[in-house]
Structure 1
Amino acid sequence: MPVKTLALACTAAVLLAAAGAMPAAATPDKPVIALANAYFGNSWRHQMVDAFEAAAKKAKEEGKIADYIILNGDGTVAQQNSQIAELILKKVDAIAVDAASETAVNGIIEKACKAGIKVVSFDSIASAPCNYQLNFDFKGYKKAQAEWVLKKLGGKGNIIVVRGVKGSAPDADMFAAQEAVLKNYPDVKVVATVYGQATASVAQSAVANALPSLPHVDAVLGQGGSDDTGIAQAFDQYGGDYAKKMPVIEGGGSSNFIQWWTKQREANNYSTISMNTTPGIGGAAFWLAYGLVKGATPPKLMIMPVATVTDENLKDYADLPAGVIVSPSYSQQWVEDNLIKAKAGN
């Protein structure tokens, strides 16, 4: 009996075969596509997995694939290595990998490639030479967003930096971009650096714990996901001077933050900018993996667009449901037109 989805909880340490079931056997025309997602602890990753699964369900309903497998990890390299090893044994045709590390999963990815499996790493990429990379320009968009915020401050003030998922490639790239911008603003002082894990509850706790010992904070540089909501909640909870004037908090695309921003703008003419990587990449990664199995030859490195919300277009997003990240969905046709048919350097 085919398995539609084999999903692991974040705390699971090993791959579980649901009730002993196995995925439907692949045929030359109908492959089995898998997702190995290293971390499942924030709303961005949940939405990304949902996007992958929606694309996979569509492909299965249309008879394009035999089956699909989804594995979600606890953020550790050891677990993801075990998951990919199990997928190799299952002889899947392609694996989309949201990696626990840019380098530490390279060995098992090389084994998958040698076994004839197509591998595409995305979002948090791996650097194994054999794998295709579907990435965002983390450094580019974070540099632009940090520049906007620091210019909004007039080039001086106190800021908090809230980092993302510890150990991930996106966290390293975004933090490096923020540091590069900060070097050009000597009158801006970083008064605290904390990890928010791109999660509202973690970011709220980290910022709330830091605030009592800090001078007045003028801005917060974040890394996206739902950390923006948690940061805003921490300042709301703290109150004091912040009840009258909130710091400029970088938005990371969460609908809850956009709703908060809308209310702040109506009440206090609050101004900020939100830029975020789009969790719809999960669907793009599925269709790219499918295309690779079917013989597509895209560039080794492909870049996805980011979503931007400003004071000017804020009203266009004010009616989003709670708990989602701003993101389009990416169809098979979009992937073919914008990724598979793209030329390196375009």
Structure 2
Amino acid sequence: MVGLAAVPMLAIVATPAKATADKPVIALANAYYGNTWRHQMVDAFEASAKEAKAAGKIADYVILNGDQTVAQQNSQIAELILKGVDAIAVDAASETAVNGVIEKACAAGIKVVSFDSVASAPCNYQLNFDFKGYKKDEAEWVFKKLGGKGNVLQVRGVKGSAPDNDMFNAQEVALKEFPDIKVVATVYGQATASVAQSAIANVLPSLPHIDAVLGQGGSDDFGIAQAFDQFGGVYKDKPPIIEGGGSTDFIKWWVAKSASGYTTISMNTTPGIGGAAFWLSLALVKGAEAPKLMIMPVATVTQDNLKDFADLPSGMIVSPSYSEDWVAKNLLGKK
């Protein structure tokens, strides 16, 4: 759709307003729309696009949300090439399987920025997070908090995505440094509270006592917390150390538990990257130069700054918004 709110899990293409040299059309091809993080990311892209359109900086914008399949995203990007958009921001279904159609877009003169779940096509710009670095740091914090010994439940993210692989591999590296930490089960939570809660509820009765849970964010943290609350027993008064992924519902849960001495840490990628991807795409169309790989900051909540986030609205992921000026200074300014 053009200039309208995104439709969950569907791809709808309308003819965008005609682009000119001064007023391009910028598109978003988002492979997955099934969790809070992706909803917020799309909202951030659209808010920036609306601002740019109101200011006369673009002719229009297109937002396409997929069903998590490579086939649909390939089809959507191919359609955007035919429509003649000027730039495509891609949250990719696969790091490699969409490279062919991205190369076709580049060959057609379209600027392509893959972000969050990036594609590895050499022609595209990557706007990424240091998934491996921050997830290793977060896992190590948890393991040290356990005293280097305990049973861990591992909750993976969006199956098949580059972030899931990077975060899982980072946790595996950290685990090798703590041989007395044992992973007793691994489930997929799809970075979604309800899916994570259900997956854990299904395996928890058969598991030994869980001392900590490694998650991946996107609201899985609150689903994990709810699963243990629902299970009750020893977990009622002493839940495991749950890696926070930045959901405000989890932070509120953490605040309540901290009254009894509960402590953890939360680190998350910021869905505001959708806005940054928009402004970066526009800048590239306008002729700006940028590095092929750019790294975005992550948001960190600790016991020390927990109260600063306690009053945020429910149902959100902790994230700043990223302006056109921020992109110019922090992305284009670092070559």
- Normalising by the residue count of structure 1, what TM-score does the alignment of the two structures yield? 0.96
Distance in 2 (alpha carbons) for counterparts of 1:215 and 1:304: 38
- Aligned partner letter, 1:322: S
Q: Indicate the residue corresponding to 1:4 in structure 2.
A: 3
Q: Distance in 1 between matches of 2:68 and 2:316?
A: 21
Q: What is the deviation of 1:156?
A: 0.4
Q: What's the CA shift for 1:5?
A: 2.9
Give the Cα–Cα distance (whole angstroms) in 2 for the partners of residues 288 and 158 of structure 1.
43
Q: Which letter maps to 2:43? A: D
Aligned to 2:212: 219
What is the letter of the counterpart of residue 3 of structure 2? K
For 1:279, the equivalent position in structure 2 comes to 271
Preserved CA contact (<8 Å) 2:255 2:310 = yes
1:250-261 correspondence runs (5 A): 250-261=243-254
Residues 284-312 of structure 1, C-alpha deviations (whole Å, 9 max, x = no match):
00000000000011100000000000000
Note closer, same or farther for the CA distance 1:165–1:102 as it changes in structure 2 (3 Å cut). Answer: same
How far did 1:185 drift? 1.1
- Counterparts of residues 9-88 of structure 1 (less than 5 Å): 9-10=8-9, 12=10, 15-17=11-13, 21-88=14-81
Distance 2:2 2:276 in 1: 22
In structure 1, the partner of 2:197 is 204
- Does residue 328 in structure 1 map to residue 320 in structure 2? yes
2:117 match: 124
Distance 2:241 2:8 in 1: 35
Aligned residues: 335
Q: How far did 1:244 drift?
A: 1.6
Matches within 5 A, 1:76-155: 76-155=69-148
In structure 2, what is the equivalent of residue 229 of structure 1? Answer: 222
* Distance in 1 separating the partners of 2:164 and 2:231: 27
Structure 1 residue 3, shift from structure 2 partner: 3.5
Report the alpha carbon displacement of residue 128 of structure 1 after superposing the two structures with TM: 0.1
Offset, 1:6: 7.1
Q: Report the equivalent of 1:299.
A: 291
- Checking the alignment, whether the CA contact within 8 Å between 2:26 and 2:86 is kept in structure 1 is yes
Distance in 2 of aligned mates of 1:244 and 1:189: 23
Look up the match of 1:244: 237
**2:307 corresponds to which residue?**
315
Q: Secondary structure at the match of 1:135?
A: strand
Contact 2:2-2:63 within 8 A present in 1 as well: no
Which whole-Å CA distance do the structure 1 matches of 2:197 and 2:178 have between them? Answer: 26
**1:235 match: secondary structure:** helix
Instruction: Provide the TM-score with structure 2 as the length reference.
Output: 0.99
Instruction: Report if the CA contact (8 A) 1:8-1:73 is conserved.
Output: no
Unpaired segments of 5 or more residues in structure 2? none
Provide the alpha-carbon RMSD of the alignment: 1.0
CA drift of 1:8 comes to 4.1
Whole-angstrom CA distance in 2 between matches of 1:105 and 1:257: 34
Letter in 1 for 2:21: P
Q: 1:243 to 1:237 in 2, by over 3 A?
A: same
| Conserved 8 A contact 2:245-2:266 | yes
In the alignment, is the contact (CA less than 8 A) between 1:6 and 1:69 conserved in 2?
Answer: no
| Secondary structure of 2:331's aligned partner | helix
Q: Secondary structure of the equivalent of 1:340? A: coil
CA distance in 2 between counterparts of 1:214 and 1:293 reads 53
